[in-house]
Structures are given as C-alpha cells and as structure tokens.
Structure 1
Amino acid sequence: MYNQLNVLIVDDDDIERASLKRALSNADFNYNIVEESEPNKALQQLTYQNFDVVLLDYLMPAVNGIELMLKLKKSPFVCETAFIMVSNYADDELILDAINAGAQDFVLKEDITPSQLKRSILQAKKRYELEQELYDSYQKVKSMAERDSLTGLYNRYHFEESLLQRIKAGLRHPSEIIVVMLLDLDKFKHINDTYGHNVGDQLLVEVAKRFKKVFRSNELFARLGGDEFAFACGQLKSLVEAKQIGNRLLEALAEPFMIDDHLVHSSASVGMALFPLNGDTQTELMKCADIAMYRAKQNVHEKLCVYEDNMQAEILFKYKIETELRRASFAQDFELHYQPIVKQGQIMGAEALVRWPKANVTQRPDQFIPVAEECGLIQKLGLWVFDKALEELATYLQSPASEFYVSINVSPCQLTEAGFAKAIINRLKQKKILAKNITIEITETALLNDNTATLENLEALYEYGIKIALDDFGTGYSSLSHLLKCPIHTVKIDRSIIDDSGSQHSMSKAMLAGVASMLQKLNMRVVAEGIESAEQADYCQQLHIHYHQGYFYYKPMPLASLTKLVSRSDQISSAYS
C-alpha cells in the first residue's frame, strides 16, 4: 500500500481549492499537497516534482480540464500520474470525454467528502497502475508481433505496415523518392553447413548490429526471415542518394566476423526498387526489389542492382521454363548428343551434352540448365544424363581394352549432395563399366566455397579411378589453388582464350602459351575447347595441346552418328597410359 501520496490540485477558484485541500487533510491518510491556480504553473510543478495524483478542475477560464490534461500528459516529466477530473456539474457525455482523454475518475465537487475523496484517489491510483500494466503487456505483445526475436530488429509485419504509411505520405509529395531494398546474405547456407546453425544465428545478430550503426533514424530496417533483410527510406531526391544507402550496407560487411573463434566472411546481394518509378503500392515495390535482388545474386561483381522493367520479363521466362521442366518426362523429352574429343585426328572420347528437343519455351541448355539448378531439379536431371550416357555407350565402355571415354558434366549442386559419389560408383558397378572410361566435368564454381561434401565427393571419385576435368578454365574465377588442392586430371581451356589466340594479338597468344605450359608442368592433360579453324588447331599443336574439341572437327551429334563415326579398329586409340 502507499505510505504517502503526492497530490497536485489545479483549480482557478481559491475557495474550491481550499475545499479540496481541507477534504484531503481530514482524510485518514498522509498526503503531500501542492496547489496551483494557473495551468502553466501546474505544468511547471509537474516538471519539478513527481505527483501520484492530479485533481483537475474541469471549468477554468483559459482552458478546460480535458484540454489541460491532454497537454500535461504530453510532458516528458509526467510519469506514473493518475488524473481525477472534478467539476460542479457533469453529464454522461462529459464523463465519457474525460475518461477517453485519459482521466482515471470523474468526481462531482458536491459529492466530495474526506472518505469519498480518499477512496477515489486510491482507486484512481490503482486504476492507473492497472492501466499501465495492461499497456506494458500490450507493448510486449506488440513488440513480439513486430520484432524479430533473434536480432531485435523489426519483422516483416512491421516493415510492411510502416512501408504502407510511408507510401501514403509519399503520394502527397510525388517529387520525393522512397527506396525499398531487399538484402540477402550470400552463401548463408554454406556457413550453416560448415560451422553449424549456432554460428549462423550469431552471424545474423552481428550483421544486424553493423547495419544498425550505418542506418539513420529516418531509415526503416527489418529482418524479414532467414538471411533476408529489408530497408526503406523516404524523402530522397535522386537515385544517387538511394545507391549510397545500398553501398553503406555492402560496405558494412567488408570486414569479416569473429564468431566462436571462426573468422566468418559474409557478403550480400541487394535489390532496389523506387517509389513511384517502379510501383506505387507496397506489394509492387517489394516484388520489384526481390526481382532486382535475384539479379544481383547472379552478378559476380555488381552486388547492388536497381530494378528495371525487363527483369520482370526475365523472371516470367524462367518461371515458364521451370513449369515445363517440372512437367517434363526425362526419358521421353530429353536426349543426349555427343561432341567428340580428338587427338591428332583420332577420336579419343566424347562429351555428353543434354538436349531438350520437345521443349516449347527454350531448347537452349544454357537457359534451362541454370533454371534446373535454381529450382532443385538438376540432381534428378544430372543422374538421368549419367544413366543415359552409360546405357547408350555400354558397347564401347564394357571392353577392358577400350580407352574410349565419356565426359559427363556435373553441376555444383550435385556435388554438394553427400551421397553423390557413392551413387555414381554404384552405377558404374551395376553397368560393369570401368572407371577409366568415365570423366566427370566440373566448373570452378563448384570449388569456390570449399564445401566439405564437394571435396569429399571429388576425392571419392578420384580414388575409385574416375578422372576429374576442370571445364571452362580461363573464365570467371580461375585460380591455381583449385588445381593444387583438388584431384584434377584434365583442364579444358575455355573457347574464349582459344578464340583470342587466333587473332594477331600477341598478348592473347602469350596467355594461351603460358597457361598450357603451366598445366603441362603440373602433369595435367590439356584440352582446347572451341576449335573452329585450322589456324587455331595448328597453334594448339605447336603448344603441345594435343586434345582438341570444337566445330572444326565435329559438332555435337546423336548416338547413331557417333556410332558410325567411331571405328574401334582404327579410330579408338589408347588415350591413357
């Protein structure tokens, strides 16, 4: 219970104040009473001292009690204070107005007695405390509803509601720009897989802390879920300002994070949409920012992408490909073509290439294979390619004397599957095909993350005797470390280097010569891809690059054409010693 209550009486009438003070003094309770006749002085008193209860007259000459109470409640110094409105008259409407404005009670002056006033004050104080408890509970629930429990940032619900309000305000100021950004951490799944989910969660917390430091008070910032964050800022004047915000985010991730003794590197992809240029609704802006973020994730160097109208068409195109892929029957709709790999005119092997002749949207592998990777169908498609290649070429590959080999492309997504190598080895055993007759082609993308499952799969395939070929060498991320730490047997030099070597540019020729010499000194087989002229073929021969592949020799062809072309008696020679 209360030992003493501080009470402020605010009434312009001296007699009324004295009457209230007398009633308080005669009550069986300890009150510390302060009285004021003017509203401004009452506000000053609340600045100097905390009051438990304010007895506030409704009728005053300068301002009525409800207006004064609303003004007093706005003061930062008013805390834990209950208000009781007192008046010489009252009706139901006035009482409701006072209660709705925040008064804890309404008392007629003619009804005031010491005991009644004591009861009213104590009830008002208790009612105020209960209201505060209810408000605090509401704030906790509201925080739970609007805050992300892991990072403490706002969540999707709050972000979308706040963005909606900013858009409504923006409609009144069409000259101003609102930027909406979605940010997704790159390779976050790899971090979880490598270090565990506890490290992944802590990384999200540390990322949020860094972002908080670079954001200003007028910038909305939230975690939507997983490793995706959202940002919004209004009152911008140009795209340059918007990009500066995005670059601040990316720069915040430049330094690695130290988490549980692990040095964790993290980067991000940011998609940006602008109001009103890209849309005037919350849904449109979020969708456009998401599309732009998807494009940014595909870019190697530019990780901040602003939405453009053609991106929508690209997303729709990929969606159509995905839909058709999901409906397709691999056995009925796909087929394999084979492009020979030659050595000094003799066919030593062939690369198996998947074709989709019955496709309605696109028949280009460079378009449907990336979509298959993104939508999770590449594992099934990849195994079908492997099974089909073994089935079609079993005649050549079952002979122990045959050195003819089939080179089969494997997606980085397949290599991250823990049981991939075992599945491939089992298929060879079932078909009774020797490991020497199979080469697995990978790209350097598969080696970028040092994924444990990828390296284990490659080692298992290598130990079984399957040769690993590194495809498209010379593009993108070419790194010597990949050649040294992975069991690479063959390197296929990309056609872009071969194309340039056919020109008169000495630098291009020198590059090809240097790459070939280095690989040969590492005892790696070198295959020149994309040979399209006799000049290119001759120059590669001069560099002791004897394995060639390209349209100058043969285009990809169906199995029947390859069968006619390859004669076991005079065209299949020993390629492996």
Structure 2
Amino acid sequence: MYNELNVLIIDDDDIERTSLKRALSSTDFIYNIVEESEPQKALQQLTYQSFDVVLLDYLMPSVNGIELMLKLKKAPFVCDTAFIMVSNYADDELILDAINAGAQDVVLKEDVTPSQLKRSILQAKKRYELEQELYDSYRHMKKMAELDSLTGLYNRYHFEESLLQRIKTGLRHPSEITAVMLLDLDKFKHINDTYGHNVGDQLLVQVASRFKKVFRSNELFARLGGDEFAFACGQLKSLNEAKQIGNRLLGALAEPFNIDGHVIHSSASVGLAMFPVNGNTQTELMKCADIAMYRAKQHTIEKLCVYEDNMQAEILFKYKLETELRRASMEHDFELHYQPILKDNLIIGAEALVRWPQASMTQRPDEFIPVAEECGVIQKLGLWVFKQALKEMADYLNATGSDFMLSINVSPCQLTEPGFASSITSLIAQHDVSPECITLEITETALLNENVTTLENLKALHKFGLKIALDDFGTGYSSLSHLIKCPIHSVKIDRSIIDDSKSQHSMIKTMLAGVANMLQSLNMKIVAEGIETAEQASYCNQLNINYHQGYYYYKPMPRSALVNLIS
C-alpha cells in the first residue's frame, strides 16, 4: 500500500483543477499535489521531479490530452508514473485511443467523487506497476532470446536485427563503410572428437572471452551457432580498416588455450564482405561473407579472405557439382581405370582410379573428389570404388597370387569412420582375395591430426594383411612421426618433387636424394609417381627408386586393356 502519492494535475480550467484538488483532499489518503494549466510548464515539472500519478485533461486549448501525454512520457522523470485521462465525455473510441497511447485509466469529470477518484488512482497505479512488471519480463525474455546461452554473446537473431539497423543508418551515410565478417574455427570437429564436447564448449567460451577483449563498444559481434561467429563494424573509411579488425580477431587466437589440462591450439578462417559494395541487405552481406569464409578455409596461410564477385560463380559451380555427384553416386555413373606400377620396367601392380565419363560439369578427379569429400558423398563413392575394384580384379588377383598388387585410394574421411576397417575386411573376404594383394593408398592429411579412429582402422587393416602406402609424400605435411606411428609399408613420392627433378637446381636433386636415402634406411618401398620423361626415370633409378608410375610408361586404362597389356 502507498503511504502518500505525488500527483500532478494538468488542466487549463481553474475550476476543474480546484474540483479535482477538492476531491483528492476529501479522501483519507495523503496526496502531494502540484497543478499546472499550461502544457509546457507541466513538461518542465516532469523534467525536474517525479510524480506517481498525472491527472490530465483531454481537451486543452493548444493540444489534446493524448498528444500531450505522449510528450510527457518522454520527460526524464517519467519512469514510474501512471496517467489518468480526465474528460467531459468519454466514448469507446476515445477510451481505446487513450489506453493504446499509454493511459492507465479514463474518467469522466461529472463522475468524479472522492472515493471514485481515489479508487481510480490506486487502480491506475497498480495497473501501471503490473504493466511495468510485464514489460520488464518481456525485456528479460527478449534479452534471453537474443543471447547465446553458452558464451553470453548475442545470437544470430540479435545480430541480424542489429545489422539491419546499421544498414539503414549506412544508407543515410553512403560515404561510410560497414564491414560484415563471419569467422569459423578451424578443425573444431576434431577437437570435439578428440577431447569431448565439454572441452569443445569450454574452448568456445574462452574464444568468446578473447573476442570481447579486442572488440570496441561500437562493434557488434555474436555467436551464430556451433563454432561460427559474426562481426559487424560500421563507420569505416576503407577496406584496410576492416581488414585490420579481421586480423585483430585472428590475433586473439594466437596463444594456445589451456582447458582441463589440454593445451589446444586453435585458428580460424574469416570471410569479409562490405556494405554497400557487396550488398544492400543483411542477407546479401552475410551470404557474401560466408562465401569468402569458405574460400579462407581452403587456404593454409591467408586466413582472412575478402569477398570478390567471382567467388559466387565458384560456389554455384560447387553446388551444382555436389548435386550431380549425389545423383551419380545413386546411379553408379562412375567407372574405374587402372594405371600400371612398374619395377625394372615390368608391371607388378596397378592403381585403381575413379573416372566419371558421364559428368556434365567436370570429369577431373582433382575437382570432383574434394567436393565429394566436403559434401559427404566420398564415403559412398569410396566404398563403391573398393567393391568395383575387387569385383573387376578378383579373378586376376587370385590367378597371379601375390605377384600382382592392386592399389586403392582411401579418403581421410573414410578412415575416420569407426566401422571402416570391418567393412573393408568383409568385402575382401566376400571376393576371396588374399589381403596381401591389396595396398591402401592414404594421403598425409589423413595422419595430420592423429585421429584415434584413423589410427585404429589402419592398424586393424594392417593386422588383417593389407599393405598401407603413404601417397603424395612431400606435399608439405610430411613428418617422420607418421612413418613411425603408423603401419606404413611403402611411400609414393609426390609428382611435384619428381617434376622438379627435371631442373638442374642442385637443391631439388639433393632433396630428392635425401628423401630416398631416408626412406630406404627405414626399409620402405619407394614408388616414384608422375614420371613423364626418360630423364626422370633414369634419375630415379640412380637413386635406387625402382618402382615407377607415370605417363612416361602408361596412362590409366580400362580393366580389359590392363589385362591384355599384362598378358
């Protein structure tokens, strides 16, 4: 209950003001009453002091009560003030207009009595308090709905709504630039898979904490979901200024994170789009930033990428290619060719290579295989390659015994599947092929993260009898630890090193000789792939690299041509 209330009476009629004062004074309640006859003076009263209730005449000479109330509500001290509209008449339309404008009640002057006015004031005050509680609850719920519960950052909804407002502001100031950046942590799934989701969540919290420290008050940032963050910076003068902000973000991740005793190194990829250069809506800008971020993820050094118009065409190409790949994997539109592997000019094996002759967009494996890996088609395609290779070559392998080696490529994505080893061993058993005749070719990227499931699959397949070859050795991730930790039987030296050996540059030749000596000291079989000239073949022989593969000898060919060639 209220001990006393501060009341402001606003009415241009002296008699009406006196009548209201008399009615208030006749109640058993304490009122501190201030009266004003002019709207401007009433506004000044609310500028310097607060009132619990304002009794406001609807019909004023210069302004009606609703218009005046809207002005008064903007005054500094109108924070807990209830408004009661007082009128000589009150039809339904007026009452609704007054309530919709923010009045808590409307009373007729002819009905004013001490008890009725007291009841109206108390009800208006209570109604106002309930409205405020409801509004405070709404604001709390709205804030919760706009915050990310894990990191405490704003979420996607708030970011997109705020970005929309910044764009509207930017339209009024065309000389200023607004930058939109999307940031995605690199290899975050690997961290979750290796250390668990709890560690992954803690990493996100610590990343968000670092971002808070490097961002300024006028810069908007949010967590969109997963390991993806968004940033918006307005009132910029140049692209370089935006890039500096992006590099500030990347710099925040430079130091490792210590989580539950694990030292975790985290990096990120940032895509940058600019308003109004790259778009005039938040949808366009975020789409462009996302495309640029996708490009940044493909780079190992430059992790901040600015959107360019040609990127849109590349994304569209990949999307269409992905769609066609999914269809092709369902309809088995692929086929296998085999490229011979030779030792001392004799064919001792062949590598199965997938071909896509019906493709309308590209038939190049170096273009469609990476897309298949990104969209998840590679698991189905890789299994088909294995089945088809065994189906086509089983009779020949069984006839020749272990004298002929069939090499089959395996994607890093396949190796991370828990059931991969068992599915391969089952296929080999179904075709009654000796596992010693099969070599699995894996790339160094498959071993880069030292995924536990990958290592378990490789060890299980090696134990079953398959041989493991490390393909593309020397492409930049080479590590002796890979050769020691994994059951590697042979190494295929990347064609880039073989190709560079044509150069008379002594460093290139010295490097190739050093690689060969190292691998031979580890008793590993070495295959030189990509040989295209007699000079390359001769130099490899000088280094005792006797296993050769390349166009100098044979191009990939269908199974029938391979069998005829060997026969």
* Secondary structure class of the residue paired with 1:271: strand
* Secondary structure class of the residue paired with 2:402: coil
Q: Which moved more, 1:416-425 or 1:319-328?
A: 319-328
- For 1:4, the aligned partner's letter is N
- Aligned counterpart, 1:247: 247
- For 1:454, the aligned partner's letter is T
In structure 2, what is the Cα distance between the partners aligned to 1:143 and 1:207? 22
The correspondence of residues 416-455 of structure 1 with structure 2, limited to 5 A, is 416-455=416-455
CA contact (8 A) 1:181 1:272 kept: yes
In structure 2, what is the Cα distance between the partners aligned to 1:30 and 1:297? 71
- Aligned counterpart, 2:183: 183
* Secondary structure class of the residue paired with 2:468: strand
1:93, distance to aligned residue in structure 2 (A) = 7.0
- Aligned counterpart, 2:4: 5
- For 1:552, the aligned partner's letter is Y
| CA gap 1:60/1:325 in 2 versus in 1, 3 angstroms | closer
1:456, distance to aligned residue in structure 2 (A) = 0.9
- Aligned counterpart, 2:158: 158
- Aligned counterpart, 2:45: 42
* Secondary structure class of the residue paired with 1:277: coil
What do the CA deviations read for 1:439-484 (whole angstroms, capped 9, x no partner)? Answer: 1111111122222211111111122221111111111322233222
* Secondary structure class of the residue paired with 1:333: coil
The correspondence of residues 36-435 of structure 1 with structure 2, limited to 5 A, is 38-39=41-42, 42-43=45-46, 45-46=48-49, 51-55=51-55, 69-70=69-70, 72-75=72-75, 77-86=77-86, 98-107=98-107, 111-328=111-328, 333-399=333-399, 401-435=401-435
- For 2:242, the aligned partner's letter is A
In structure 1, what is the Cα distance between the partners aligned to 2:302 and 2:362? 27
- Aligned counterpart, 1:26: 26
* Secondary structure class of the residue paired with 1:475: coil
* Secondary structure class of the residue paired with 1:407: strand
- For 1:412, the aligned partner's letter is P
What do the CA deviations read for 1:487-528 (whole angstroms, capped 9, x no partner)? Answer: 222121111111222211111112112222222222222222
- For 1:322, the aligned partner's letter is E
In structure 1, what is the Cα distance between the partners aligned to 2:550 and 2:76? 79
What do the CA deviations read for 1:168-216 (whole angstroms, capped 9, x no partner)? Answer: 3333333332222222222222222223333333433333333333333
Q: Which moved more, 1:106-115 or 1:493-502?
A: 106-115
1:128, distance to aligned residue in structure 2 (A) = 0.2
1:382, distance to aligned residue in structure 2 (A) = 0.8
- For 1:507, the aligned partner's letter is M
CA contact (8 A) 1:39 1:68 kept: no
* Secondary structure class of the residue paired with 2:121: helix
1:338, distance to aligned residue in structure 2 (A) = 1.5
CA contact (8 A) 1:330 1:381 kept: no
| CA gap 1:507/1:330 in 2 versus in 1, 3 angstroms | farther
In structure 2, what is the Cα distance between the partners aligned to 1:482 and 1:71? 75
- For 1:346, the aligned partner's letter is L
| CA gap 1:58/1:154 in 2 versus in 1, 3 angstroms | same
In structure 1, what is the Cα distance between the partners aligned to 2:217 and 2:364? 49
- For 1:9, the aligned partner's letter is L
In structure 1, what is the Cα distance between the partners aligned to 2:77 and 2:300? 55
In structure 2, what is the Cα distance between the partners aligned to 1:191 and 1:115? 71
1:366, distance to aligned residue in structure 2 (A) = 0.7
- For 1:173, the aligned partner's letter is H
In structure 2, what is the Cα distance between the partners aligned to 1:263 and 1:124? 61
1:556, distance to aligned residue in structure 2 (A) = 1.6
- For 2:541, the aligned partner's letter is Q
- Aligned counterpart, 1:542: 542
* Secondary structure class of the residue paired with 2:339: strand
In structure 2, what is the Cα distance between the partners aligned to 1:293 and 1:139? 34
CA contact (8 A) 1:36 1:42 kept: no
* Secondary structure class of the residue paired with 2:242: helix
1:278, distance to aligned residue in structure 2 (A) = 2.0
- For 2:223, the aligned partner's letter is R
- For 1:406, the aligned partner's letter is L
Could you tell me the percent identity over the aligned residues?
A: 78
| CA gap 1:205/1:6 in 2 versus in 1, 3 angstroms | farther
What do the CA deviations read for 1:289-339 (whole angstroms, capped 9, x no partner)? Answer: 222222122222222222212112212222232222222267863222222
CA contact (8 A) 2:401 2:437 kept: no
Structure 2 residue ranges without an equivalent (≥5): none
| CA gap 1:356/1:425 in 2 versus in 1, 3 angstroms | same
CA contact (8 A) 1:418 1:453 kept: yes
- Aligned counterpart, 1:572: none
Q: Which moved more, 1:86-95 or 1:343-352?
A: 86-95
| CA gap 1:525/1:136 in 2 versus in 1, 3 angstroms | same
In structure 2, what is the Cα distance between the partners aligned to 1:371 and 1:133? 54
Q: Which moved more, 1:205-214 or 1:353-362?
A: 205-214
Structure 1 residue ranges without an equivalent (≥5): 568-577
In structure 1, what is the Cα distance between the partners aligned to 2:334 and 2:95? 80
In structure 1, what is the Cα distance between the partners aligned to 2:504 and 2:331? 47
CA contact (8 A) 2:402 2:436 kept: no
CA contact (8 A) 1:5 1:52 kept: no
In structure 1, what is the Cα distance between the partners aligned to 2:479 and 2:325? 34
What do the CA deviations read for 1:79-101 (whole angstroms, capped 9, x no partner)? Answer: 33323345778787776665444
Q: TM-score, normalised by structure 1?
A: 0.88
In structure 2, what is the Cα distance between the partners aligned to 1:154 and 1:93? 41
In structure 2, what is the Cα distance between the partners aligned to 1:313 and 1:18? 77
| CA gap 1:261/1:75 in 2 versus in 1, 3 angstroms | farther
In structure 2, what is the Cα distance between the partners aligned to 1:520 and 1:130? 84
CA contact (8 A) 1:5 1:53 kept: no
CA contact (8 A) 1:199 1:259 kept: yes
What do the CA deviations read for 1:354-389 (whole angstroms, capped 9, x no partner)? Answer: 111222221111111112112211111111111222
